[in-house]
């Protein structure tokens, strides 16, 4: 039986020095941070592309209208949209347009609710006569899809007089508004299977599946 010889600390240090194995972990040096990207100024053609893209959100057609080759317009349009400066400028214009026109999610939902929950009785007075358009409440007026005014006159020339004026209000579709509102709230899905309860069948017999 061979007995392993124990080495003294000094002997271990000498061996480690010869072999280069000291047991100390080599420190991991972190990579230097990449230099910050300097924004590149947009060219006149790129600015024109941004302007044209806002018209129909069609990158290919916007590239053509901006003066890029029709043959490579599709590739150019895709490449331009991936440009950081261009995509940032497009997003900024969208936000500016939304803010200027108050095209916010809250306003859209509010107008949709006005159509969905309009009470038609608010369109007429106590005598059943149509309320003049300028006297309608704002939440009622926004639910209208159109207005038709029918006037009846009598007489001719200087004796011609207005006999009656009938206002016919056309209300936006409540069914469509309710449908959109339900989709907005996620109350039903195109696939109704998502609303069906899940049935879990458990086997309590202890039998193993074949």
pLDDT band with cut points at 50, 70 and 90 for residue 153: confident
Q: Which of 58-72, 147-161, 180-194 has the lowest mean pLDDT?
A: 180-194
- Name the residue among 112, 173, 103, 110 with its Cα closest to residue 145: 173
Tell me the per-residue pLDDT of 71-125, one tens digit each, with 9 for 90 and over.
Answer: 999 999 999 999 999 999 998 888 888 777 777 888 889 999 999 999 999 999 9
Residue 206 region, left (φ>0) first, then alpha (ψ -120 to 50), else beta?
A: left
Q: How many helices (H) and strands (E) does the chain have?
A: 8, 2
The pLDDT of residue 32? 67
* C-beta of residue 46 within 8 angstroms of C-beta of residue 77: no
How far is the C-alpha of 129 from the C-alpha of 145, rounded, in Å?
A: 19
The pLDDT of residue 69? 93
Q: Which helix (H) or strand (E) holds 52?
A: helix 44-56
**Residue recorded with tokens 């159109």:** 146
User: What does the mean pLDDT of the chain come to?
Assistant: 81
- Name the residue among 62, 58, 50 with its Cα closest to residue 97: 50
The pLDDT of residue 46? 93
Enumerate domains of the chain plus CATH numbers. Answer: 44-100 (1.10.10.1400), 107-177 (no CATH)
* C-beta of residue 81 within 8 angstroms of C-beta of residue 87: yes
Q: Find the mean pLDDT for residues 173-197.
A: 77
* pLDDT surpassing 80 at residue 175: yes
């Amino acid at each position: 039986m061979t007995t392993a010889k124990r080495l003294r600390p000094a002997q271990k240090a000498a061996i480690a020095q010869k072999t280069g194995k000291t047991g100390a972990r080599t420190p991991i040096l972190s990579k230097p941070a990449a230099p910050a990207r300097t924004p590149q100024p947009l060219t006149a053609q790129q600015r024109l592309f941004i302007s044209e893209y806002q018209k129909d959100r069609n990158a290919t057609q916007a590239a053509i209208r901006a003066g890029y080759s029709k043959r490579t317009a599709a590739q150019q349009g895709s490449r331009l949209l991936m440009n950081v400066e261009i995509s940032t400028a497009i997003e900024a214009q969208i936000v500016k347009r939304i803010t200027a026109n108050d095209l916010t999610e809250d306003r859209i939902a509010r107008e949709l609710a006005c159509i969905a929950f309009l009470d038609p009785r608010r369109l007429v007075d106590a005598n059943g006569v149509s309320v003049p358009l300028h006297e309608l409440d704002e939440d009622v007026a926004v639910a209208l899809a159109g207005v038709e005014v029918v006037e009846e006159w009598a007489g001719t020339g200087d004796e011609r007089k207005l006999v009656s004026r009938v206002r016919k209000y056309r209300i936006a579709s409540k069914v469509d508004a309710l449908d959109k509102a339900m989709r907005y709230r996620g109350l039903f899905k195109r696939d109704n299977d998502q609303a069906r309860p899940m049935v879990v069948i458990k086997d309590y017999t202890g039998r193993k599946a074949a």
